[in-house]
Structure 1
Amino acid sequence: MYIIQFIRGFFMALADSVPGVSGGSIAFIMGFYDEFIDSLNTLVSNHSLEEKKKSLFFLFKLGLGWIVGMVLSIFILASLFEEQIYGISSLFIGFILFSIPLIANEERKTLAKNYRGLIFSILGIVLVVLITYFNPTGGGSSITLHQFSFPLAIYVFFAGMIAISAMVLPGISGSTLLLIFGLYVPVVNAVKQLLTFNFNVFPLLFCFGLGILGGIILTIRGIRYLLAHYRTQMIYFILGLMLGSLYAVCMGPTTLETPQPPMSLDNFNILLFITGGLLIIGLEKVKGISTIK
């Protein structure tokens, strides 16, 4: 049904647009992640025309909801993010912490096969913490997408490639990586300006889009292969990425153009944290609709 795929895509976009849980995590929680990855893989691999049409039709329905969700998120987040950074970050932490047990429960049989896979969780945590700690824009160095330059274009291209890889992989959000790289607010503002027909930001958004396409082509087949042949290790790794992203979100305020102190108990918003958790639980409760085609 169109409406089911639209809703799926809509919630994936809401997740992809904010640092915290990736759209891949939402697809995982709602029970259609394997179908999503298989469809993407079919488009970039050597499959029959009929299979490609079927996958494209599925992704088209999903994409309509994703576009609507992303546009709505962009207009809301562009005005709220810097002003309400601690409240929004509390919401993101709720997304992450409540998602982890849901994914672990969904994959409990896989995880129980080899508890030595915990080393991959540690690896995921360490990877995110190191990327966050050594990020190139720490200390509030300002990045603006209005000033086109070749080095900045290359930087944005690779950031887009890495971000989309994270967005389709359950675990760390691509938006969290953009936050780490100091590009989250600039990209959100630039997309909002482009939607209001300000084309000054187009050149670097074009580079960002090329990075996204490159990331999809290069990583989808790899992700599908790893999940098919090393699922236990991948699930442990994904859970580690999610745990590590808690640190990234807490440090997010330090990457703003005007740096703010990291999140602490003093500026943590418990109500928004609970709200984030309830939203994730709500998505898991409606997972039954994933059986409707």
Structure 2
Amino acid sequence: MHQERLTLRQAWARSPGPENGRQAAILAIKGFCMGAADIIPGVSGGTIAFITGIYDQLVDAIHSFDTAFLRRLLRFNLPGVLEHAHLKFLFFLLSGIALAIVGMARVMHFMLSQHPVEIWSLFFGLIAASIYIVGKRIERLNTANLLLCALGALGSYLLVGMIPVATPETLWFVFLCGSIAICAMILPGISGAFILLMLGKYEYITRTLKNPFLMENMEIILVFLAGAGLGIIVFSRLLHYLLHRWHAATVSVLTGFMVGALRKVWPWKEVLESAVIRGKVHVLREQNVLPDLGGELVSALCLMIAGMLVVLALDRLSNGKSC
């Protein structure tokens, strides 16, 4: 077999991806921008991939992990694996994404703990504008699609109400979160961080990323990545099929899903029940309340508007328009 005679270096060189150091650096920078976007709920890494012109390459890279890849892997045909899969492209892209996520996690965790109303207001604005962006992709705004959107919104609203504020911190749930959140990365308009917010694990995951080399944190991160690996291979194909087979219906449900989930990111909440776990106060149950009039409300509304403008500007860029 020709592939068997290739050396690992030759196979790596023939793998789709950057062909020189400059291209590799640019791809890593694009990955960094995607990672920074993915850790902010409401800003999608998929949108950044569109803007930077690598979305099609990203989808092709994900789909390169197919049955042919698996056959070569099971035969321990490492040169064949390197040549077939887009590992060179993914290596530099994921390096940039990982650097951004680890670097931004500390900032986001600090902001959530010290300035919760302000940061949730920004998130609310980001997601509200993302609803508009995703909703524009519904091809036909007919009765059926409006009904699907309403059902998605109702289901999501009820779902986030049933999900407790403190979800399990067991490894199986972390695995599940990773497998679901990763699918949002390839969807323009919906972020993985938004999914983690819905599942009540955004702050938990960003907290572990603050110190990724601690043994207990490393275990959590590896389990999360294992779930992400499964999700990107299995769920992304299902999502890809639904978007191609029933595009308008799928986007309608996704739009409604985001509308209902705004309940989760409403900035003003009242704690109904809390408990001290491992020396820290954890909120177990809370409810949304109306804000008090004052300076905090003005600053929160300004941050909401700022979040909306960021997403709208990114959408204009992705469509080749000037901001």
1:36 matched to 2:58? The reply is yes
Q: Which residue of 2 aligns with 1:206?
A: 222
1:35 shift after superposition: 4.7
Structure 2 unaligned blocks of 5 or more: 1-22, 70-79, 275-280
1:179 matched to 2:179? The reply is no
1:155 matched to 2:173? The reply is yes
Partner secondary structure for residue 114 of structure 2 = coil
1:242 matched to 2:264? The reply is no
1:169 corresponds, among 187, 207, 218, to 187
1:218 matched to 2:249? The reply is no
Larger Rg: 2
Q: Which amino acid aligns with 2:262?
A: L
Cα gap change, 1:127 to 1:57, in 2 (>3 Å) = farther
1:128 matched to 2:156? The reply is yes
Aligned partners of 2:43 and 2:311 also within 8 Å? no
Aligned partners of 1:143 and 1:186 also within 8 Å? no
Q: Which residue of 1 aligns with 2:140?
A: 111
1:204 shift after superposition: 2.7
As a proportion of its length, which structure holds more helix? 1
Deviates more, 1:17-26 or 1:124-133: 17-26
Overall identity of the aligned pairs, in %:
30
Q: Which amino acid aligns with 1:111?
A: R
1:24 matched to 2:42? The reply is no
As a proportion of its length, which structure holds more strand? 2
Cα gap change, 1:262 to 1:11, in 2 (>3 Å) = farther
Cα gap change, 1:84 to 1:5, in 2 (>3 Å) = same
Q: Which amino acid aligns with 1:184?
A: Y
Q: Which amino acid aligns with 1:18?
A: I
1:15 shift after superposition: 3.0
Q: Which whole-Å CA distance do the structure 2 matches of 1:233 and 1:21 have between them? A: 22
1:71 shift after superposition: 2.2
Q: Which amino acid aligns with 1:178?
A: L
Aligned partners of 1:20 and 1:95 also within 8 Å? yes
2:93 corresponds, among 62, 80, 91, to 62
Cα gap change, 1:222 to 1:190, in 2 (>3 Å) = same
Root-mean-square deviation (CA), in Å?
3.4
Q: Which amino acid aligns with 1:212?
A: A
- Structure 1 length-normalised TM: 0.77
Partner secondary structure for residue 257 of structure 1 = strand
Q: Which residue of 2 aligns with 1:99?
A: 130
Q: Which whole-Å CA distance do the structure 2 matches of 1:181 and 1:234 have between them? A: 21
Q: Which residue of 1 aligns with 2:282?
A: 257
Aligned partners of 2:130 and 2:190 also within 8 Å? no
Q: Which whole-Å CA distance do the structure 2 matches of 1:52 and 1:200 have between them? A: 35
Q: Which amino acid aligns with 1:65?
A: G
1:190 matched to 2:221? The reply is no
Cα gap change, 1:221 to 1:132, in 2 (>3 Å) = same
Q: Which whole-Å CA distance do the structure 1 matches of 2:54 and 2:260 have between them? A: 24
Q: Which residue of 2 aligns with 1:15?
A: 37
Q: Which whole-Å CA distance do the structure 1 matches of 2:88 and 2:314 have between them? A: 24
Cα gap change, 1:41 to 1:231, in 2 (>3 Å) = same
- Structure 2 length-normalised TM: 0.71
Aligned partners of 1:29 and 1:103 also within 8 Å? no
Aligned partners of 1:171 and 1:241 also within 8 Å? no
Number of residue pairs matched?
274
1:88 matched to 2:88? The reply is no
Q: Which amino acid aligns with 2:257?
A: L
Q: Which amino acid aligns with 2:282?
A: E
Residue deviations 1:88-133 (CA, integer Å, cap 9, x gap)? 111112212223333444x36x235x55222221232123222211
Aligned partners of 1:43 and 1:56 also within 8 Å? no
Cα gap change, 1:170 to 1:284, in 2 (>3 Å) = closer
1:29 shift after superposition: 6.9
